[in-house]
Structure 1
Amino acid sequence: MPIIDATRYLIPMPIRPATSADADAIAAIILPVIRAGETYALDPAMTEEAALAYWFGGDKTVFVFEEDGAVLGTYYLRANQAGGGDHVANAGYMTGSPARGRGVARAMALHSFDEARARGFAAMQFNFVVASNEAAVHLWTALGFATVGRVPGAFRHPRLGSVDALVMHRPL
């Protein structure tokens, strides 16, 4: 398992490809986020099986952030589009609540940029960043993403009502 260079990241972190043995740990991270319904446009009532099928979809490569044997975060990487758009990457990230605020999401993002470049992607695009997800918008902006589009009221937030979705992009 490769250890990420601490001079590049905030803390030394093992980030590795996920295996089927990580399914329970990944489910424990993604299900609460999906159930909350505040940041991903996924059905909050989806089953664990459906959530894992989505996360491990055939077009995705899944990674985990593991520390002291515990999976603290996960992300997937894929092409944003097929054909003429397959040179732009897309990714989704989730961090377990005990690990939030510790740089896990930032480390996974930086790792994903390296992975995307190594796979020949020229840029990364997020198609649907919920505008009320201030932590994500702040992180993506700090990491060089520009908001290149805004879709008014595209997300039905369970507490806030209609919220805009942002399209964010950055070259790799």
Structure 2
Amino acid sequence: MSIQPAVRAAVDDDWPRIWPIFDAVVREGQTYAYPLDLTMESAKPWWMSEPPAETVVLEEGGVLLGTAKMGPNRPGRGAHIGTASFMVSPTARGRGVGRRLGEHMVAWHREHDFTGIQFNAVVETNTAAVRLWQDLGFEIIGTVPGAFDSPTHGRVGLHVMFLPLPG
């Protein structure tokens, strides 16, 4: 089943609904190296982006299904290359939420004249994400061996993935 609702910019009032997704994903420990002791207050600046970046949400029937943040990968001379991060509610996985957010993110970067998108740290055992990004045209351009400490798999690699956006 594919998700059809539009992705929209997140507002401050969305944070209390984003937080349970953020907290669940971070505590699972399979995809992000965020500190484990984050609270709702201390986590907010890690996820809620300020311009020129943007945080978005996807909801259906008032239920938040997923969220993403996107913007420049580096400031200054690196600001022409974008980056993004994604979190899907554990209850919404397998429903096309990540794909919908990913497609939105690629379009957003094109609309904002980025020349490419670089993911700095895609956990190699997160095979659903790796497959999705490859389906959207990203290539693995390198892997840092043992850079992520997975509670399930031990130390695994982090892929650097890249999608050129020709102008």
Q: Which TM-score tier does this pair reach, normalised by the shorter chain?
A: over 0.9
Residue 21 (structure 1) aligned with residue 13 (structure 2): yes
Distance 1:119 1:50 in 2: 29
State the match for 1:5 in structure 2: none
Moved more, 120-129 or 52-61: 52-61
The answer as to whether partners of 2:119 and 2:161 remain within 8 angstroms in 1 is yes
Distance 1:32 1:69 in 2: 19
Count of matched residue pairs = 163
Q: Which amino acid aligns with 1:24?
A: P
- SS of the equivalent of 1:12 reads coil
Give yes or no for the alignment of 1:80 onto 2:73: yes
Cα distance in 2, alignment partners of residues 99 and 160 from structure 1 = 24
Does residue 97 (structure 1) correspond to residue 90 (structure 2)? The answer is yes
Matched, 1:140 2:133: yes
Aligned residue in 2 for 1:43? 35
Aligned-pair identity in percent equals 40
Is 2:26 aligned against 1:34?
yes
String of CA shifts for 1:92-149, please: whole Å, max 9, x gaps.
0001011110101000000011111111111111000011111111111111110001
2-structure distance, mates of 1:137, 1:11: 20
Runs of at least 4 residues off by over 4 Å? none
**1:94 and 1:21 mapped to 2: Cα distance?**
18
Among 67, 89, 92, the residue aligned to 2:60: 67
Counterpart selection for 2:155 from 148, 155, 162: 162
Note the aligned Cα RMSD (angstroms): 1.2
Give, as a single letter, the amino acid of the residue that structure 2 aligns with 1:19.
Answer: V
The CA deviation string for residues 4-24 of structure 1, in whole angstroms up to 9 with x for no partner, is xxxxxx442221000111111
Q: Give the unaligned 5+ runs of structure 2.
A: none
Please report the TM-score for the alignment, with normalisation by the length of structure 1.
Answer: 0.90
- Which residue identity does 1:93 align to in structure 2? F
Residue 30 of structure 1: how far off its partner (Å):
0.8
Distance in 2 of aligned mates of 1:102 and 1:89: 26
Q: How many Å apart are 1:161 and its aligned residue?
A: 1.2
Q: State the structure with bigger RCO (CA 8 A, min sep 6), 1 or 2.
A: 2
CA contact (8 A) 2:68 2:85 kept: yes
The aligned amino acid for 1:113 is V
